[in-house]
Amino acid sequence: MSTFTVNGVQRTTNEKKSLLRYLRDDLHLTSIKDGCSQGACGACTVIIDGVTCKSCVPTTDRLDGKTIVTVEGLSDWEKELYTYAYGEAGAVQCGFCIPGMVMCTKALLDQNPNPTEDEIKYALRNNYCRCTGYVKIIAAVKLAAKIKAAGAIPEASTTDWHVGNRVHRLDVAEKVLGYGQYPDDIYPEDTTYAGALRSKYARARVLSIDTSKAKALPGVVAVLTAEDIPGENMIGHLKHDQYTLVPVGELTHYLGDAVALVVAESMAIVEKAKKLIKVEYEVLPAVHSIEEAKAPGAPLVFETDKSNVQAHEHISRGNAREAIANAPHVITHHFETPWTEHAFLEPEACAAYLDEDGDVFIYSTDQSAHQTLHECQLLLGTKKVKVQNALVGGGFGGKEDMTVQHLAALAVYHTHRPVKMNLTRAESLLVHPKRHHFVMDFTMGCDNDGKILGVRAVCESDTGAYASLGGPVLQRACTHAAGPYAYENFEIEGTAYYTNNPPAGAFRGFGVTQTCFATESLLNMMAEKIGISPWEIRYRNAIRPWGVLPNGQIVDDSTGLVETLEAVKPYYDEAVAAGKPVGIGCAMKNAGVGVGIPDTGRVKLLIEKDQKVHIYSGASCIGQGLGTVLVQNVVEYTGLNRDDIVYERSNTWYAPDSGTTSGSRQTLVTGEACIRACRLLKEALDSGKTLADLVGQEFYGEYLAKTDPLGANVPNPVSHVAYGYATQVCILNKKTGKVEQMIAAHDVGKAVNPLSCEGQIEGGVVMSMGYALREDYPIDENCKPLEKYGSLGLFRAHEIPEIKAIVVDKPGLNVAGGAIGIGEITSIPTAPAITEAYYQWDGQRRYSLPISGTPYKK
């Protein structure tokens, strides 16, 4: 028996379990997030006897006599203090790490009311954040210290919700205080738990599945296999190629394939039952790499295919071959980039049940509720499904594909009982699609002034076990490989290969993170060869308004690459003059899906009985701040007050499908749809009606971002409605070789909320510092990923350099109030900038990420 105090209340328990499970499952203190249960992430941090502890570590039997505090146990003053400080600093994005960070803040300030920046970083360093890059969390702690000392909470720096203002995000309080619900925070009454038995081998034929012993285990509610699927077994984000449950007689594709689904009264019983399922396999040779996939006679990942080629792109404009042949300066090199894990803080989770309409109702954490709906409807062979987005604890592309939602839906369909299905962190690392590993050969030809004459390239990607978004990622890698420069001769050939590795798919940057590394590195080498600075070669080649991109698109007035180059110049020049090793990289990234694919934003503004405007859009806010963007748009374009507006999370029965949160598209595409709905509402208001008069009325806005398909027979195709541009600079400390400062200037058209923009930039930069310097995702000979969450190499709070985020506003885009999405580009130019800085440091060129020979050892 163990007796301890939780938030001032004495508790006694006889059961030995982790403190995390006790606080969540027994006391339902859901501010304590389960991000890994391995001691890595810190999302479950609590204060025990005045110091921080990750609550997944100690078991209840060790806690006799201890005093435990969670966010729920803070005083009202503290709650107000941390909500204000985190909101004012812009420290909250997806929010999953935040209650843990708040606990670290409190523990620090209770002991040290006036901490230095280093002390703050150390107080936070055992907790990971994947969204913010820690910059604004550190600022929040500083601010909290200041306010705590002053003893009174000031007014917010702005309460003006018009576009362009740095308002606190609308979901700060629920995320800081932990009462906002992610799917795992929903505990339906009488819930069951589900877990999947995954394939033992990456490539094998399932010969038989015997579930009889598992079914007989007391507490097991159902054990489901392929035969229990009423509709289509095969689903997938674009191509329906992935078995929900692998049937007898069919091939497994990777170790994450589910063979059977266990539904039971507790997770312990689920795990026990999984061990009782007998599966016979015929083990077959697996495909481990691009090399193996393309070898003659290679085993086929999809046995009905003729080869392991998943997608192929050939893009050519002008005559790159001839241009390079005639160029006075030519450089050719081979480049490689690694697999990367998204490492969002919230592992995949969902809760589902049968609602009063008899529909399967799914609380989901994903990047498109409507996509989840369509796939679940297909799987169940019924339209009777609803999906509601709960809070989403980070996505970065990794939550575009379904992982648990369909399995939970299947469980509810059969058992008619509520179910919770979560991936363990180990499963999450295995199951969801990763960033593609790329190998690339690039050749660039330039004239004596450093003007690019032509680029030719061949790239190959390992797209793993399933198509996922491998095709579009390859395509974007190819279309953007030319870089944000004005030249006419460009040719690239790209091939994505299936292997039996975990699938690869969408990841912030969407293929451009890979090819940009090659192009920008070549440009740095070329600058040296020609004898001009890496800044100068970019400035000379930069695309300018009404110039023509190598894809033929004529760019508009909003094109701000030059402005980003000019914005970093003083910092660049100063560092060069000071003799510091400096590197630079540029990038462009589309906002919106583009290339002729229908891409529609839809928003409904409904005036509800509370006489407020409720914003409904089937567009996921995954931590990037879409809700705040839409509310600011409504204030701007209707003239209503913030208090008259309610943002509703995405659902599938009332909120219209507004596409996946992908391709940096929501601020632009859904933003424009929102503005169109606002215009209609404004008309009604201008006609003399009040919100009270309009109760029950709906105002609908729709925007189709129209583009031309690749290879369209027009002289200057519009591939994308907008591009964001960026320049990033990396400055090293010459002595230590560590990154001293990152300067990131981003052209965003119009910053709806500059505070949020900065947060995106800082987070993207730190994420890609990991990509450039340390993170990888090794896979062993059994196609099994080796790393745990804590050993991925993610950057920690005490390791980040000073990050200077520069938001460049440049009007010219005639939709969405001029706002261009910023989600992905923040991560793109970082790696080549860092790589160049290290070349300046030690004279070694590096062609493979993560780069070696730096102080950032894994």
Partner 1 sequence: MAVKKKFPYKAAVVACNGGCRASKTPDAKCVYGCIGCEQCVIACKFGAIHINDLGVAEVDEEKCIACGKCATYCPQNLIHIHECANYIVVKCSNHDKGKDARAVCEVSCIGCGMCEKVCTAGAIHVVNNVAVIDDSKCLSCGMCAVNCPRGAIIDTRGVLTGKY
CB of residue 74 to partner 1, shortest distance in Å: 20
Would you say 51 or 577 has its CB closer to partner 1? Answer: 51
| Nearest distance from C-beta of residue 54 to partner 1, angstroms | 5
Angle at 93 between CA 103 and CA 698, to 5 degrees: 130
Q: What is the 3-state secondary structure (H, E, C) of 455-518?
A: EEEEEEEEEECCCCCHHHHHHHHHHCCCCCECCCEEEEEEEEEECCCCCECCCCCCCHHHHHHH
Residue 779: CB minimum distance to partner 1, A: 16
For residue 107, the minimal CB distance to partner 1 (Å) is 11
What's the rounded Cα separation, in Å, for the pair 576 and 836? Answer: 13
Tokens of 523: 């440009």
Beta carbon nearer to partner 1, 56 or 587: 56
Taking the complex as a whole, the smallest distance from the CB of residue 40 to partner 1 amounts, in Å, to 4
* One-letter amino acid for residue 800 of the chain: I
CB of 135 to partner 1, least distance (A): 19
Cα of first residue to Cα of last residue in the chain, in angstroms, is 42
Nearest C-alpha neighbor of 740 from the set 528, 514, 579, 535: 579
Nearer residue to partner 1 within complex by CB, 63 or 259: 63
Q: Pick between residue 36 and residue 834 the one whose CB is nearest to partner 1.
A: 36
User: Any bridge partners for residue 615, and if so which?
Assistant: 605, 647
In order of 248, 259, 785, the CA distances from 205 in angstroms are 8, 11, 21
CA distances from 696 to 166, 613, 615, 649, 654 (A): 32, 10, 13, 19, 14
How far apart are CB 394 and partner 1 at their closest, in Å?
Answer: 18
HEC sequence for 601-629: EEEEEEECCCCCEEEECECCCCCCCHHHH
Q: Measured from the CB atom, is 59 or 307 closer to partner 1?
A: 59
Closer residue to partner 1 (CB): 111 or 159: 111
Q: How is residue 642 annotated by DSSP?
A: G
- CA quadruple 248, 379, 351, 126: dihedral sign: positive
Q: Which is nearer to partner 1, 116 or 332 (CB)?
A: 116
Amino acid making up residue 644: D
Binding residues for partner 1 (CB under 8 A): 36, 38-40, 42, 48-49, 51, 53-54, 56-59, 62, 66, 116, 118-119, 122, 125-126, 787-791, 798, 857
Max Cα distance, the chain (Å) = 82
Minimum CB distance to partner 1 smaller for 722 or for 769: 769
419-422 and 220-224 beta bridge pairing = unpaired
CB of 17 to partner 1, least distance (A): 13
**DSSP letter at 556?**
-
* d(C-alpha 697, C-alpha 694), whole Å: 5
The least distance separating partner 1 from the CB of residue 126, rounded to whole angstroms, comes to: 5
Minimum CB distance to partner 1 smaller for 115 or for 472: 115
Based on CB atoms, which residue is closest to partner 1, 392 or 429? 429
The distance of closest approach from Cβ of residue 119 to partner 1 in the complex, given in angstroms and rounded to an integer, is 6
Residue number with CB closer to partner 1 (7 or 59): 59
- In the bound complex, what is the minimum distance in angstroms from residue 56's beta carbon to partner 1? 8
Query: Beta partners for 376?
Result: none
C-alpha to C-alpha distances, 376 to 246, 352, 356, 384, 418, nearest whole angstrom: 17, 12, 19, 10, 16
Separation CA 68–CA 50 (nearest Å): 8
